[in-house]
Structure 1
Amino acid sequence: MRIIVYGSLRRKQGNSHWMTNAQWLGDCQLGGYEMYDLGHYPAVVVGEGEILCEVYRISSSILTELDALKRDGHEYKRELINTPLGSAWIYLYQHSVTGLPRIDDGDWLTREQ
């Protein structure tokens, strides 16, 4: 199975250690999504923009760990979508993004530039 990561789980980010045993398949841009800054990590919702993300092949045990990480605060839900690298799971933010700073280029790594 595959997973899409777009924020703190990306390479060289604070939570990238969760992806240590995953196989990186490549980077891609996904249309139809918008990214917002929650402070230490991003929120992605369905929208008009594009996001830059990484796609990994993962085991079911990694998916279970990521589910626990992402659902701890009940902020995200996991959905299966199509990507240029095959179908993959993505975590989408479940709360309002009203008033949050939008990351217009959809790239978490360039948010402060």
Structure 2
Amino acid sequence: MRIIVYGSLRRKQGNSHWMTNAQWLGDYTIPGYALYDLGHYPAVVSGDGAVYGEVYRIDSTILAELDALRTKSGEYKRILIGTPYGSAWMYLYQRPVTGLTLLPGGDWVRRHEDPSDEAG
């Protein structure tokens, strides 16, 4: 099975250790979603735009651990989306995003970069 991660589970991020036994398949920009900043981790909801993610092959043990991490409080639900690597699970945020900071670039790792720097 596969999973797409877009925030703290990505390579070199705070929770990437959860993906240690996963096989990285490639990157994919997920159309039709918006990325919001929750502080230490992001939220993805359906919306205009696209979100940058990493697709991994995982086993049922990793999925169970990630479910315990992400869905226990009801903050996220797991949905299946299409990617160039096949269908992959993704965690979708379930709470209101009113008042949260939208990250228009859709890339959690680059959230602190100044978009005007890219014009240069």
TM range (shorter): over 0.9
Q: Are 2:42 and 1:42 equivalent residues in the alignment?
A: yes
The CA RMSD over aligned residues, in Å, is 0.6
Report the identity percentage. 69
Instruction: Provide the aligned length of Structure 1 versus Structure 2.
Output: 113
| Cα distance in structure 2, aligned partners of 1:3 and 1:55 | 6
What does residue range 1-113 of structure 1 map to in structure 2 within 5 Å?
1-113=1-113
- Which amino acid in 1 is paired with 2:42? P
Q: TM-score, normalised by structure 2?
A: 0.92
In 1, Cα distance between equivalents of 2:84 and 2:48: 18
Once the 2 structures are TM-superposed, how far is the Cα of residue 74 of structure 1 from its aligned partner?
Answer: 1.5
CA distance in 1, matches of 2:4, 2:66: 11
CA distance in 2, matches of 1:72, 1:59: 19
Gaps of 5+ in 2: 114-120
Deviating 4+ runs (over 3 angstroms) = none
Q: Distance in 2 between matches of 1:44 and 1:24?
A: 21
Structure number with larger C-alpha Rg: 2
Q: Secondary structure at the match of 2:96?
A: coil
Unaligned runs of 5+ in 1: none
